């Protein structure tokens, strides 16, 4: 009986028909393969060591010790004896004194001779060395003379060959080079003509740009911090306005919806015809892209275009105070539903724009907080978007095997979004005309369309979807 209950439960999970009568085939997530995939823990490296040094101070040299004895200098003889009294002068030398003096001089002369003997020996050896060196130079000179004679014969042999080569080169220079130069001159003339045409085209563009361009969408006079502020200042028409949330940053254009639910909505995302590619890089999603609005023929821009406001601006607007978000969507039959959250905050880029939502109401299904209702257990948990970081195909921040470049939700699902592993809602996915699409039509075989799974499932791409924010007040 237990086995039968288990089989019946599996049948309910995997074979329950969807709203269109077909079997549910949810690909809005990436299911775990037990035993093959694991989650990585902390993906952030610790900071580098900032204290301590690789070197110590150099040692000081030891002082030189001991007292040096000064060598005694022998003073020369005065040449005679002196009186007991120095005032009486010097006595004349006697025979003994002369003998003593001569013996001293003899000793000095012998010392000088002993010093000269090694020098004489060195000079004799140097003379022998010079003689051997001169003799070697003479032999080398005779050998070089012989080599010079041989080289002269070789030079005379190659002179004729050089003359032949000179004749050949002269013929090439006189005949072949002029012909090639004429061909190159023709190519150069053609390039000059093309350059002249380009210069004319550039000059024509400059002449056209001299007159200032006139926009077909004049900006209304009324402006404010956001669309709610504009509504309170009298801007009650839904159109493009100029807002400035922070006085330290320049103003920018947005589309304000002043009709839905008492107005004050600022459009941060809009898809309606597939005219704008949402498969963008991180920097483009950070700055924003697309067309804010178009002229409706009434002298102002009352028709919103496809665009993403920009993560920096969305983060700034949602952190100014309590904010709510309204997500409106439409299928290809004209049916419309909505999802509303009275708490909506996007953190700054330092946290990779973490999403935080709460307080759901509406009839489209609570994808942000509950995930896909077609799935169960851990598979449904993988499709919850609340608390996720923003990801693009060049900046992987999702929960599908972090750090693995072959497993990136944004790369497979077509746009930047707060992917988990991977999604239950994909408003920035690829735009498919007609609604239903198949795995074979998808670029990577995944449900990469404009998807809201709790309304139309994974393989139905919506015709239109928009996200609007405004300050939240409990009294509304």
Number of CB atoms found within 10 A of residue 252's CB: 14
Cα torsion through 220, 226, 229, 231, rounded to 10? 50
- For residue 29, the model assigns a pLDDT of 81
How is 268-323 classified by DSSP, letter by letter?
Answer: EEEESSS-S-----HHHHHH-EE--EE--SSSS--EE-SEE--HHHHHHHHTSS-E
CB 301 within 8 A of CB 341: no
CB 311 within 8 A of CB 286: yes
Task: Give the residue ranges of DSSP H helices in 329-421.
Answer: 367-370, 378-381, 409-413
Query: Residue 166, by phi and psi: left (phi above 0), alpha (psi -120 to 50) or beta?
Result: alpha
Q: DSSP code of 250?
A: -
Query: How far from 19 is each of 55, 161, 381, 458, CA to CA, in Å?
Result: 73, 94, 22, 12
Q: What is the pLDDT of residues 128-172, one digit of tens each?
A: 888 888 888 888 888 888 888 888 888 888 887 888 888 888 888
Mean model confidence pLDDT for the chain: 81
Percentage of the chain exceeding pLDDT 90 = 47
Q: Is 326 helix (H, G, I), strand (E, B) or coil?
A: strand
Helix (H) or strand (E) holding 149: helix 95-171
HSE-up of residue 232 (Cα within 13 Å, Cβ side): 7
Query: How far from 354 is each of 71, 115, 455, CA to CA, in Å?
Result: 89, 97, 25
pTM of the model: 0.60
Q: Is 57 helix (H, G, I), strand (E, B) or coil?
A: coil
Segments making up each domain of the chain, as ranges:
109-213, 227-471
Q: What is the pLDDT of residues 198-246, one digit of tens each?
A: 998 888 888 877 765 554 677 888 999 999 999 999 999 999 999 999 9
Fold of the CATH domain 227-471: Gamma Fibrinogen; Chain A, domain 1 (3.90.215)
Class of residue 32 by CB neighbours under 10 A (exposed 0-12, middle 13-18, buried 19+): middle
Query: How far from 261 is each of 223, 251, 265, 469, 470, CA to CA, in Å?
Result: 21, 26, 9, 12, 11
| Model confidence at 252: pLDDT above 90 | yes
Residue 462 binned pLDDT confidence (cut-offs 50, 70, 90): very high
| Model confidence at 436: pLDDT above 90 | yes
Query: Residue 405, by phi and psi: left (phi above 0), alpha (psi -120 to 50) or beta?
Result: alpha
Q: DSSP code of 436?
A: B
The angle subtended at Cα 225 by Cα 230 and Cα 386, nearest 5°, is: 105
Give every CB contact of residue 148 below 8 A, 6+ residues apart in sequence. none
Give every CB contact of residue 424 below 8 A, 6+ residues apart in sequence. 28, 29, 367, 371, 372, 383, 384, 385, 452, 453, 454
Range with the poorest average pLDDT among 20-34, 58-72, 140-154, 352-366: 58-72
CA–CA dist 392, 411 (Å, integer):
7
């Amino acid at each position: 009986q237990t086995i039968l209950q288990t089989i019946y439960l599996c049948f309910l999970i995997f074979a329950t028909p969807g709203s269109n009568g077909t079997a549910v085939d949810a690909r809005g997530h990436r299911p775990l393969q037990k035993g093959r995939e694991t989650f990585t823990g902390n993906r952030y490296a610790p900071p580098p060591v900032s204290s301590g040094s690789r070197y110590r101070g150099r040692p000081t040299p030891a002082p030189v010790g001991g007292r040096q004895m000064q060598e005694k200098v022998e003073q020369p003889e005065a040449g005679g004896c002196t009186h007991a009294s120095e005032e009486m002068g010097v006595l004349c030398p006697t025979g003994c004194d002369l003998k003593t003096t001569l013996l001293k001089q003899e000793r000095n002369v012998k010392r000088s001779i002993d010093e000269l003997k090694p020098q004489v020996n060195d000079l004799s050896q140097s003379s022998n060395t010079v003689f051997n060196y001169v003799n070697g130079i003479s032999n080398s000179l005779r050998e070089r003379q012989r080599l010079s004679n041989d080289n002269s014969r070789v030079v005379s042999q190659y002179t004729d060959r050089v003359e032949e080569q000179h004749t050949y080169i002269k013929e090439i220079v006189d005949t072949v080079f002029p012909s090639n130069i004429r061909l190159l001159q023709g190519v150069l003339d053609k390039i000059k003509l093309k350059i002249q045409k380009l210069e004319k085209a550039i000059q024509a563009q400059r002449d056209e740009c001299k007159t200032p361009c006139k926009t077909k969408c004049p900006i209304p006079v009324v402006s404010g911090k956001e669309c709610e502020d504009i509504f309170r200042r009298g801007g009650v028409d839904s159109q493009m306005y100029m807002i400035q949330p922070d006085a330290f940053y320049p103003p920018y254009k947005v589309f304000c919806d002043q009709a839905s639910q008492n107005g004050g909505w600022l459009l941060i995302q809009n898809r309606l015809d597939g005219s704008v590619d949402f498969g963008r890089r991180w920097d483009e999603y950070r700055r924003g892209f697309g067309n804010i609005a178009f002229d409706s023929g009434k002298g102002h821009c009352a028709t919103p275009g496809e665009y993403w406001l920009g993560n920096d601006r969305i983060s700034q607007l949602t952190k100014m105070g309590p904010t709510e978000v309204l997500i409106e969507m439409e299928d290809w039959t004209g049916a419309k539903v909505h999802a509303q959250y009275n708490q909506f905050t996007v953190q700054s880029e330092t946290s990779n724009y973490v999403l935080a939502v709460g307080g759901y109401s509406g009839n489209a299904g609570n994808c942000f907080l509950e995930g896909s209702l077609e799935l169960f257990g851990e598979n449904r948990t993988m499709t919850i978007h609340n608390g996720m970081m923003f990801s693009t195909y060049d900046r992987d921040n999702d929960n599908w095997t972090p750090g693995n470049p072959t497993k990136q939700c944004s790369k497979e699902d077509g746009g930047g979004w707060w992917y988990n592993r991977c999604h239950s809602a994909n408003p920035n996915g690829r735009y498919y005309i007609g609604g239903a699409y198949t795995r074979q039509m998808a670029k990577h075989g995944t449900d990469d369309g404009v998807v809201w799974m709790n309304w139309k499932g994974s393989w139905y791409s919506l015709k239109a979807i928009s996200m609007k924010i405004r300050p939240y007040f409990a009294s509304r």
